[in-house]
Amino acid sequence: MFLNQTIRQSVFCYPITTTIFCLCFHFNSFAQKIVSNTYVSATGLKHLAIERNMIYEPSDNWMYSHHPYITFFKNKFIAAWSNGLKDEDNPGQRVAFSSSVDCVKWSAPKALASPSVYKNDTLNVLTAVGFHQFNDTLVAYFGEYSPHKTNTKLWAKTSTDGEHWSEPIDLNIPVNANLGPQKIANGRLIISGNFTFSYTDDYRGLSGWKMTSFYPDTAYKEDNPATFYAPAAKRNLPPLCEASFFQTDDGTIQALLRVTGNGWKGRLWRTESKDNGINWSLPVEAPFSDNDSKFHFGRLPDKRFYYAGIPDTLNHYGRTPLVLSISADGQSFNQHFIIADENYNLKKEGLWKGGQYGYPYSFVHKGNMYVIISRQKEAIEVIRFNLSQF
């Protein structure tokens, strides 16, 4: 018997005399690896020697900043983030960017993308997604949706200098992604959404995107900050969102998911793919602690795996301290270091503003790791530290 790869879960029933014999197949439901961490608390953990610099700290305008990303392109650092006037994900939210030659002094922010009009004088909402590079071109991605969390689109802009950007390119998938494209071993690019994993074999990341998920295709029409609740509830799962993944040397892609809202129990959930992101297993709870925030997985030059995030569960949604966790095998993250735990004082209250170290994104460049975060969803900061410390 051969199963079509697009079938994620099928039930085949055969009558045997008067008895019904059922065979149930669950894609990737066997021999799954356990991804866990050993974090308990910050007590006694080593503080890394870090350098930190503010990229953007508002004074009296554009007071909301979140979803930050950073890259290095043509001898300068470029950061992008979601930027709103006051509240989270309100109409008119744009994507801003800034650049720096030394990661210390940053240019005044400019608009990388501005939202289109939804109806009459009401604007849509934009969310920064991340970057991708090919040849001598930088691609910046951003999601767009209506004030009612509908009409979701994923867009891209290209640049050859990191300052001037093309017109928006419609990627033709209804996804407001969590992370920009990540290349796996066979060269395929995968974008992590909330519960979708869109992929393309176009090395440029500009065409051929296909959506897939651990949910059946009939369970969703778009992927944005409001659409992950319904398919989870129908399957008696907690609200699963904001996935980040890494691939082990056997080709398995391990994706961890945040649980939020009333479903939060202090643990991440996990799904995996063994066929380069086409099919995904039904998510299960992982023994990996989490504060209820976005996180980011990556791999070090020495092939160890790392997690940058907030694993502490004692101060739910406090999003502190910011922790780096290391794993030799991609299963047990058992070395932990404090990246930062200092407080930032909020200047102006706003809807859903809070969290000391929000939505970390990281990358490694010339022996250093760079972690960009939002501070109380108001300011954008970048932290740099040398890999020789661990």
Residues in CB range of 299: below 8 A, 6 or more apart: 246, 305, 306
Class of domain 32-389: mainly beta
Query: What is the rounded average pLDDT of the residues 316-331?
Result: 97
Q: How far from the centroid of its chain's Cα atoms is residue 389's Cα?
A: 26
For tokens 């649980």, name the residue: 259
Q: Rounded CA gap, 351 and 140, in Å? A: 26
Instruction: State pLDDT tens for residues 21-63.
Output: 333 334 444 456 799 999 999 999 999 999 999 999 999 999 9
Question: Could you tell me what percentage of the chain is helix, strand and coil, using 3-state DSSP and rounding each to the nearest 5?
Answer: 5, 45, 50
Query: What is the rounded average pLDDT of the residues 205-212?
Result: 98
Whole-model pTM over 0.85: yes
Helix (H, G, I), strand (E, B) or coil at 379: strand
What whole-number percentage of the chain has pLDDT above 90?
91
| DSSP string for 245-259 | EEE-TTSPEEEEEEE
pLDDT of residue 21: 33
Q: Is 325 exposed, middle or buried (0-12, 13-18, 19+ CB in 10 A)?
A: buried
Q: Rounded CA gap, 213 and 345, in Å? A: 39
| Residue ranges of domains in the chain | 32-389
Among candidates 360, 242, 376, which has minimal Cα distance to 306? 360
pLDDT of residue 31: 57
Q: Rounded CA gap, 193 and 214, in Å? A: 12
Query: What is the rounded average pLDDT of the residues 145-151?
Result: 98
CB 280 within 8 A of CB 219: no
Q: How confident is the model at residue 321 (pLDDT cuts 50, 70, 90)?
A: very high
Among candidates 308, 307, 250, 315, which has minimal Cα distance to 35? 307
209 vs 13, higher pLDDT = 209
Query: What is the rounded average pLDDT of the residues 354-374?
Result: 98
Q: Which structure tokens are listed for 374? A: 């939002």
Query: What is the rounded average pLDDT of the residues 234-251?
Result: 98
pLDDT at 18 over 70: no
